[in-house]
Amino acid sequence: MDNLLGLWQESGLYLMTPGQMVMIAVGLLLLFLAINKNFEPLLLVPIGFGGILANIPGAELASSAVDAALHGAHPDVLAAFAHTLGLEIGSSLEAVKDAYNHASVSVQSQLSLQAADFGYSNGMLYNFYSVAIASGIAPLVIFMGVGAMTDFGPLLANPKTLFLGAAAQFGIFATIMGAVGMSYLGWMDFSIADAAAIGIIGGADGPTAIYVSSLLAPELLGAIAVAAYSYMALVPLIQPPIMRALTTEEERKISMTQLRVVSKREKIAFPIVVLILVAMLLPSAAPLLGMFCFGNLMKECGVVDRLSDTAQNALINITTIFLGLSVGSKLAADKFLDPKTLGILALGIVAFGIGTAMGVLMAKLMNKFSEHKLNPLIGSAGVSAVPMAARVSNRVGLEANPQNFLLMHAMGPNVAGVIGSAVAAGVMISMVQSMGG
């Protein structure tokens, strides 16, 4: 009978909290959007599935051994933890949890061994998260693969479109102001590190967003990643109204001259040029832009095709599977169901909107000073969201002028936006860490 009772008390129906039920529904919603609506399925299928796994009651898949031990809350375990943390024996669970969260890395690693002594172990998704994201490796490897899939030809044919990619990053920083404003008004409790991590949603670039938030605000990573990928999928809905509002019919009809031919040598030299500028000006962006340029160099140099193929296929796919499941581990109910998540979702869409607007306005500004007119619709592609935003530019352009193919022209600002948000990521990580954030 004990066993039967035990099985029932270990079953999900007995243990499930309302929060977990909500999060399982959220996971199913993400799967629905990914599969039926084609919302960035490569990421949202693993994230949604991982989110459901993380909320299976009693399985503790997203918990560390210490979390599991604290959840078990056996008196012996709590006493041992309290001793290690320098609390008095008999401290409350809350006190132990609090002391653990503020303990130094060495004390935490001691508790981790202690939890193992009591027979607790890390959950599967927690291990995936540690290896893939906490180490920083998965976003960097994906960025390398993206680099190996990126063609800088259109950008090299018209380098001044880099300015469009720069302007669109204003979405990032405006969002940071929004987040600190919410904190100032007392609506939310975002630290400056949180604000920076939320801002990066405006970079419209998944791996960059995950990399930054894993460093600056790991507890918000789930919400930030979900917002970033969802809004990237929604770019065809978010951007066109803004683009139309800020441009005249005439401007949208501007036809651009065909791009010049770019030689193989220029394409090989470009990632090296970027790398050297990073080395000279912005070391803090070196991991992200370094891996990106490495991927691109492998693609363009033509002598390591087998490495480039692997970076674009097996390696990026394997990494994506584990990255997605790991992000899903951050959709555990106790972390995700927080008013902050609503703040993040609200700020994220503002970030996309402002980035889009600034890209378009920058294109109009540049037209004031330049002979070769840009069609301002390609400015919106500067937010990145590769290649979706460039396709949106093309589609809106075709509405105004059915003979005007903007796709290639929009690819320039599109990939410029990737570089732009990696630069913004680097400077934010460096500044926030020196602010003691």
Partner 1 sequence: MQESIIQQGVDLLIFGMGTVFVFLTVLVIATLGMSSFIRRFFPDAVAPVTEPAPTTPSNSVDPRHLAIIKAAIEKHRNKQ
Site for its own copies in 327-366 (CB under 8 A): none
Shortest separation between residue 90's beta carbon and partner 1, angstroms: 34
Distance CA 208, CA 219 (A): 16
Choosing from 17, 248, 263, 317, the residue that interacts with its own copies (CB under 8 A) is 317
Q: Which of 44, 125, 195, 238 binds partner 1 (CB under 8 A)?
A: 195
Cβ-based nearer residue to its own copies, 323 or 418: 323
Q: Which of residues 232-261 bind its own copies (CB under 8 A)?
A: none
According to CB under 5 A, which residues from 198 to 227 bind Na ion?
Answer: 203-205
Interaction pattern, residues 250-269, with partner 1; x per rule: CB under 8 A = ---------x-xxxxxx--x
Closest CB 324 distance from Na ion, rounded Å: 20
Minimum separation from the CB atom of position 380 to partner 1 (A):
16
| Binding map of partner 1 across residues 384-403, x = CB under 8 A, - = no contact | --xx--x-------------
Residues 372-401 that bind Na ion (CB under 5 A): 384
Q: Residue 183 CB: number of other CB atoms within 10 A?
A: 17
Interface with its own copies (CB under 8 A), residue from 281, 339, 342, 399: 281
- Binding positions for its own copies, 2-21, rule CB under 8 A: 3, 6-7, 10-13, 15-16
Q: Which of 312, 326, 356, 384 binds partner 1 (CB under 8 A)?
A: 312
398 touches its own copies by CB under 8 A: no
- The residue range among 1-9, 64-72, 208-216, 324-332 that interacts with partner 1, by the rule CB under 8 A, is 1-9
C-alpha radius of gyration, the chain, whole number: 24
Minimum distance, C-beta of residue 113 to its own copies, in the bound complex (Å): 4
Q: Helices 407-434 and 206-216, interaxial angle, to 10°?
A: 10
Cβ at position 169, least distance to Na ion in Å = 6
Asked whether position 420 contacts partner 1 by CB under 8 A, the answer is yes
- We find the least distance from the C-beta atom of residue 282 to Na ion, in angstroms, to be 16
Indicate which of its own copies, partner 1, Na ion, none lies near residue 413 (CB less than 5 to 8 Å, by partner kind): none
Give the residues lining the site for partner 1 (CB under 8 A). Answer: 3-4, 7, 42, 146, 149-151, 153, 155-157, 159-160, 162-163, 165-166, 169-170, 172-174, 176-177, 179-181, 183-184, 191-192, 195-196, 199, 259, 261-266, 269-270, 273-274, 277, 281-282, 306, 312-313, 386-387, 390, 407-408, 411, 416, 419-420, 423-424, 427-428, 431-432, 435, 437
